[in-house]
């Protein structure tokens, strides 16, 4: 089993077998990141390819100060956002801030798998989904999201609030969801 450190060093030297191993080891994780932002599977795979190329181009600059996975994940997120920007996606949808309410989610939803959660999240409108992913999954602050997406902090907050609201509604009223969604969620 090649250690992560050795794998990075070999990739920095341009050893092809190690580059293949890196793709094999991490592309699944990176594809998950890309799928959360992309509109569809095809776009997610394109973004993944670009992210991997970017990783190989810049792996020489990686220093062991942080997690290698986090570094790659960051690149994948940025590439995804660039793709969304390229496809004329605009984040500037102002909305009033909606405070979180004490919402109780049925325990059954804790049984949801990652794929089911992703299906659920991907049903969110693109802007909501992006902000929700950045804030909840990646752990960015609203300021950081604002800078990443070139929107104000308030816009980021309101987008997140709306995303939560939509998700809550979907979870509360699964009947309103399509048959397929319900089947997946209740599986």
Partner 1 sequence: MKWPLFENNIKEKLSNHSSEIDIDNLWGNLESEVDAINNQKKKRRGFVWFLFGGMVAIVFGLGFFYWNADRLENVNLASSISENQEVKATRLVEKEVEIKPIERGVINSESVSHDDLNLSGSNVGSVQETVHSIVNKSVPKSGFESPRVSGINQTKESKSVISEAVPTDLNPKTSLLEESNTDEKLTDVEIVEPIETEESVAKKETQEVIKEAENSTPIVIEKEEIISPEKVDAKEDLSPPNENKEDKKKLFKFAFSAQASISFTDRKLEEKLDTFTQLRALRNVSERMLETSQLGLRITVEHTSGFDLTSGINYTQINERFRYNESVITQDSVPGIQFFVRNFQNELDTIFGNVPITKTTTFNKKYYNKYRLIEVPILLGWTKKFQKVRVGAQAGIFANISMKSVGHVLKSESEDFDVEVDEIYKTNIGLSYYFGVSAGYIFKDNFELYASPFACIFSKSFTKDTYGLSQKYRLYGVNVGVRIGF
Binding residues for partner 1, rule: CB under 8 A, are 14, 16, 19-20, 23-24, 27-29, 31-32, 35-36, 45, 48-49, 52-53, 56-58, 60-63, 71, 74-75, 78, 99-100, 102-107, 109-110, 112-115, 117-118, 121, 136-137, 139, 141, 143-144, 147, 164, 168
Given the complex with partner 1, which of 84 and 142 has the nearer CB atom?
A: 142
Given the complex with partner 1, which of 40 and 100 has the nearer CB atom?
A: 100
Q: How far is the CB of 116 from partner 1 (least distance, A)?
A: 9
Distance CA(119)–CA(105), nearest Å, equals 17
Tokens of 151: 């929107």
Q: How far is the CB of 47 from partner 1 (least distance, A)?
A: 12
Distance CA(135)–CA(160), nearest Å, equals 8
Half-sphere exposure of 80 (CA within 13 A, CB side): 29
- Residue 6: CB atoms within 10 Å: 12
The torsion defined by the Cα of 166, 170, 176 and 177, in degrees rounded to 10, comes to 110
Given the complex with partner 1, which of 20 and 87 has the nearer CB atom?
A: 20
Q: How far is the CB of 183 from partner 1 (least distance, A)?
A: 19
Given the complex with partner 1, which of 10 and 179 has the nearer CB atom?
A: 10
Distance CA(6)–CA(110), nearest Å, equals 38
């Amino acid at each position: 089993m090649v250690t992560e450190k050795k794998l990075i060093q070999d990739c920095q030297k341009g050893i092809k077998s190690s580059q293949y191993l890196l793709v094999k080891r991490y592309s699944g994780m990176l594809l998950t990141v890309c799928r959360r932002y992309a509109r569809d599977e095809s776009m997610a795979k394109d973004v993944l390819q670009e992210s991997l190329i970017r990783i190989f181009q810049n792996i020489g600059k990686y220093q062991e100060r942080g997690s290698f996975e986090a570094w790659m994940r960051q690149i994948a997120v940025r590439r995804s956002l660039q793709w969304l920007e390229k496809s004329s996606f605009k984040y500037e949808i102002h909305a009033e801030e909606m405070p979180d309410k004490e919402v109780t989610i049925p325990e059954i939803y804790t049984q949801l798998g990652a794929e089911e959660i992703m299906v659920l999240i991907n049903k969110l409108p693109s802007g909501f989904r992006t902000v929700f992913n950045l804030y909840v999954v990646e752990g960015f602050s609203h300021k950081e999201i604002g800078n990443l997406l070139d929107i104000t902090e308030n816009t980021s907050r309101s987008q997140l609030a709306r995303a939560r609201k939509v998700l809550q509604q979907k979870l509360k009223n699964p009947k309103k969801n399509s048959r397929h969604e319900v089947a997946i969620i209740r599986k």
